[in-house]
Amino acid sequence: MTTLVGVLARASDTQPVDDVRAMSIGGRILVAVLTALTLLFILRLVRRGHLRGKYALLWLAVGAAMVGFAIYPDVLVPIGNAVGISYEPAIIFLSAIAFLFLVVVHFSYELSRLEDRTRTLAEELALLRADALDPHTPHPQEDAPELDG
Amino acid sequence: MTTDGPAPLLFIIPAYNEEAALPGVLVELADAYPEADVVVIDDGSADDTAVVARAGGAVVLALPYNLGIGGALRTGFRYAVRNGYQRAVQFDADGQHHPDEVPALLAGLDAGAEMVVGSRFSDGQPGYQVGKLRKAAMGVLTVTMRRIAGQDFSDTSSGFRAFSRPILEFFAETYPAEYMESVEALFSSVRAGYRVVEVPVTMRGRELGAPSNRTWRLVYHYLRLFVVLLAAAPGSRSRNRRTRSASEASP
């Protein structure tokens, strides 16, 4: 396994490693601005309390990583060498797809759980309503106490 | 037995926009079973289902929004369990089910079954028409059920059923939510080791209200159902089995 990686790494060594640097200054600024805006947007959501802690942490980490890659795209080169990918942007695409896939699966899981819970709540509400409103409910129930005096 | 105890039988009627058919059903039931209690679960109806149900002498459990029949039924099972009923019959709000057939279901409980399913199709029952696709799918379901549950059912989706106390408790926790939950529930109860039998019944065509079977919707739901059944098949971990082992002591 290590030899395979080694071979691939050496193969990638023979290619010009400045693919990433080939991006124009304008392009890099555009990417940096977009990622900075994304990060600011996430920060705003966090500050307003719209994101639960775990998701806030997740997206802040993602935003920070995006800013990092935008400022220092060169860090992708050694990563590419290590895993045997010679076209560095592919590292971004691969990890982004894998990450987003996991996130969406996780959301499906959370959504199923939430649907179960809201369903249970709705059912309990129906039962409570019957207790409160229906005098014919056969089991004993508390009568609303008279509170005047 | 004191008169304060629950009635010997509870009719559980899930109802969604059934203000037209429900009064007739309630009158029929009250005539045939004056000693039984009736609970109507109003599944977020937009019409006066709850009003006509109360007028008809039923206890009404009004869901805050539409949960689908599975949610309505589980509400009914919880009601039955919390109020101490020993037996319940699931009954249709649209007049499909004959009150005359209820004794056949109850006889199944008397004979020791924990759930009795009224089948439209066993022993060549005449008189109930279904579409081609639905019929084919039902056949496949029967075979699937035989394979993974080890038992033959001719009408897996029948909503005309009688329940004993142990299975009421089981369903109060585990009754599935999604469309065609009746098949899933039949399967999970057999898997959990309950004795389930089928008895032949005749049903009427739907009196009022449109049947809910658009072709693609049906195809989707059958596919979903197969995934659910396969996921719960022997060899995989089942939520239901765990729940049963935790909360049930019946044979």
Structure tokens belonging to residue B76: 């009914």
Q: Is B16 on the interface with A (CB under 8 A)?
A: no
Give which of A121, A123, A124 to mutate to test B binding, by max B Cβ within 10 Å. Answer: A123
Of the candidates B60, B71, B84, the beta carbon closest to that of A123 is on B71
Average pLDDT over residues B5-28: 92
Task: Compare all CA atoms of chain A with the CA of B62 and give the residue at the minimum distance.
Answer: A126
- The whole model's pTM is what? 0.74
Contacts of A129 in chain B (CB under 8 A): 61-62
Please give the biggest Cα pair distance in chain A.
93
User: A123-132, B25-34, B146-155, B207-216: which has the highest mean pLDDT?
Assistant: B25-34
- As a whole number, the mean pLDDT across chain B is 83
Query: What are the Cα distances from residue A29, in Å, to A32, A36, A92, B144?
Result: 5, 10, 18, 60
Of the candidates A119, A129, A134, the beta carbon closest to that of B177 is on A119
Alpha carbons A41 and A60: distance in angstroms, whole number: 10
Please tell me the distance in Å from A37's CA to the nearest CA on chain B: 39
Answer whether B148's CB lies under 8 Å from B187's CB: yes
Please give the biggest Cα pair distance in chain B.
53
Q: pLDDT tens digit string along A63-90?
A: 888 888 877 878 888 888 888 888 888 8
What is the percentage of chain B residues whose pLDDT exceeds 70? 82
Q: Which residues of A touch B (CB under 8 A)?
A: 115-116, 119, 122-127, 129-130, 134, 136-139
Structure tokens belonging to residue B249: 């002591």
Of the candidates A115, A127, A134, the beta carbon closest to that of B78 is on A127
List, as ranges, residues 77-96 from B with C-beta within 8 Å of A: 78-79, 82-84
**Domains defined along chain B, listed by start:** 10-247 (3.90.550.10)
User: Is ipTM beyond 0.85?
Assistant: no
Average pLDDT over residues B241-245: 41
Band (pLDDT 50/70/90 cuts) for residue A13 is: very low
Asked if B61 lies within 8 A of A126 by C-beta distance, the reply is yes
Alpha carbons B39 and B79: distance in angstroms, whole number: 8
Structure tokens belonging to residue A81: 């060498």
Asked if B71 lies within 8 A of A119 by C-beta distance, the reply is yes
Alpha carbons B184 and B145: distance in angstroms, whole number: 10
Kindly compute the dihedral angle of the four CA atoms of residues A74, A75, A79, A81, in this order, to the nearest 10 degrees. Answer: 30
Q: Is the pLDDT of residue A5 over 50?
A: no
Secondary structure class of B7 (helix, strand, coil): coil
Average pLDDT over residues A105-129: 93
User: A1-5, B153-157, B194-198: which has the highest mean pLDDT?
Assistant: B194-198
